[in-house]
Amino acid sequence: MPAEAAPWGREFNPDEFWKTLAEAARQALQASGVSTVAAIAATAQRQATVLIDRDGRELYAGPNVDLRATFEGLQLLQEDGPRIHAITGHLPPMMFASARWLWFQRRRPEVCERTARLLMMADWLTWRLCGRAVTDPSNAVESGLFDVSARTWSAELLEKLEIPGGILPEIAAAGTVAGRLTPAAAGILGLPAGVPVVVAGADTACGLLGLGVARPGQTGLVAGWSAPAQRVIERPIFDPRRALWTTCTALDGQWALEGNAGPAGSAHRWACEMFLPGGDYAAFDGLAASAAAGAGGALAFLGPRVADYDNPQLLWGGVFYPQGNDLLEVGRAELARAALENIAFAVKANLERVAACADEQRPADAAHVTRSELRLGGGMARSRLFAQIMADVLGRPVQTSAEPAVSGLGAAMCAAAGCGDYATLTEAVAAMYRPGEYFAPEPAAQAEYLDACERWLQVYRNLENLSGQLV
């Protein structure tokens, strides 16, 4: 954490990051037994930003949790929040490169003066691989500088924030070749120079590809550290309450409405480590599965939330359970199950907001989209209990992918399209997606969750009010 960016600033060492990534890639290749690599594509976390100088040296590398620009973002939100959302489909600004650029202008202007490239993390990795600065819309839209409807950089925002347009990467479609692997990158990866380097989408966009979510009306949940729930739409739709994001998918001519439940995987890990020192996920699931649906009335509020990007705030939480004069059957198992149920309740609330917004703005002559199964991927998809809870809470089936690491699979689909294995990225998705396990709602649990989810939402709203008084 840089002293001048305390207490919320975060940075990572780009050289160490690159070495670690290269070593992981070499180990993966060795373990897989693959002898020939046809193409390479890189995906990475959204909102992470890298600034590069004219000599190709990184001036700044910040992860998505770098919140140094909180005050600059709040200023943008107060002055131009509605307009920023209308252009970018995204709030709050403090999460994005737009506000971070303002922070550097005010605190370290020499960095802005020396910057020759402003890249998202996946763009930076592509640049490291082939030396070309290029991005796709699903990455660019996470900068806070992109016109989500036009799928190009916003001249209005660049002028307002005094950002030179020449420092931004060119826009290309995911699945197209960006360049060739440079000798330097080839040496550290242990590959021959000249391998095609292909543009890939951001991690969540690639996650949708890995889930086979490629048609309007389909819904995917990439449940890793966070839990972005996205419904694919065929035209940009903006939430009038600005509680949701409008974003670009990795496929041309497609957008998505997103309600993100926030730190789902991190809440899962925290609960696992609290209940079982050492963090044994399988044992945690076994403990939670020994409790009945509804967790004996216990309700957890451990991070996952109902998206409200126009009103960012800290939310007080904890675990609540009924107490009486006699001993109630609420123990470790019920509290563990409540921790998983709280993620599912938050996801449901976000999906309902997404569906309501999409349906409200559906053209009168458009066919109604039936609510198909939810496609589930990411680290939490490894939990069969969570997948079943998700199906029971939603009251509709949950379909997992045979490969839980759906973002990596989506990047591989981009690479396969780029090297010519498939004519289009859509064809690559259709050919490479493999369904995993299918979870149907269990009627008894579904009935129990109707009441439990409503109680969770009621307490959640009360906690929102309490947080406004305490923060």
Q: For residue 99, what are the contacts with CB-CB under 8 A and spacing of at least 6?
A: 69, 72, 73, 76, 93, 144
Spatial CB neighbours of 462, under 8 Å, sequence gap ≥ 6: none
Question: Do 122 and 141 contact (CB within 8 A), yes or no?
Answer: no
Domains of the chain: residue spans and CATH: 3-24+32-179+187-198 (3.30.420.40), 202-471 (3.30.420.40)
Rg (CA), the chain: 22
Q: Are 240 and 214 in contact (CB under 8 A)?
A: no
255-260 and 245-248: which strand pairing?
A: antiparallel
Q: Residue 95 has what pLDDT? A: 87
- What is the spatial distance between Cα 271 and Cα 268, in angstroms, rounded to a whole number? 5
Return d(Cα 414, Cα 428) in angstroms, integer: 8
Give yes or no for a contact between 211 and 401, defined as CB atoms under 8 angstroms apart: yes
Closest C-alpha to 399, from 255, 261, 206, 219: 219
Can you give the pLDDT of all 471 residues of the chain as single tens digits?
Answer: 777 788 889 999 999 999 999 999 999 999 988 888 999 999 999 999 999 999 999 999 999 999 999 999 999 999 999 999 999 999 998 889 999 999 999 999 999 999 999 999 999 999 999 999 999 999 999 999 999 999 999 999 999 999 998 999 999 999 999 999 999 999 999 999 999 999 999 999 999 999 999 999 999 999 999 999 999 999 999 999 999 999 999 999 999 999 999 999 999 999 999 888 887 999 999 999 999 999 999 999 998 999 887 777 777 888 888 776 555 678 889 999 999 999 999 999 999 999 999 988 765 544 444 557 999 999 999 999 999 999 999 999 999 999 999 999 999 999 999 999 999 999 999 999 999 999 999 999 999 999 999 999 999 999 888 876 665
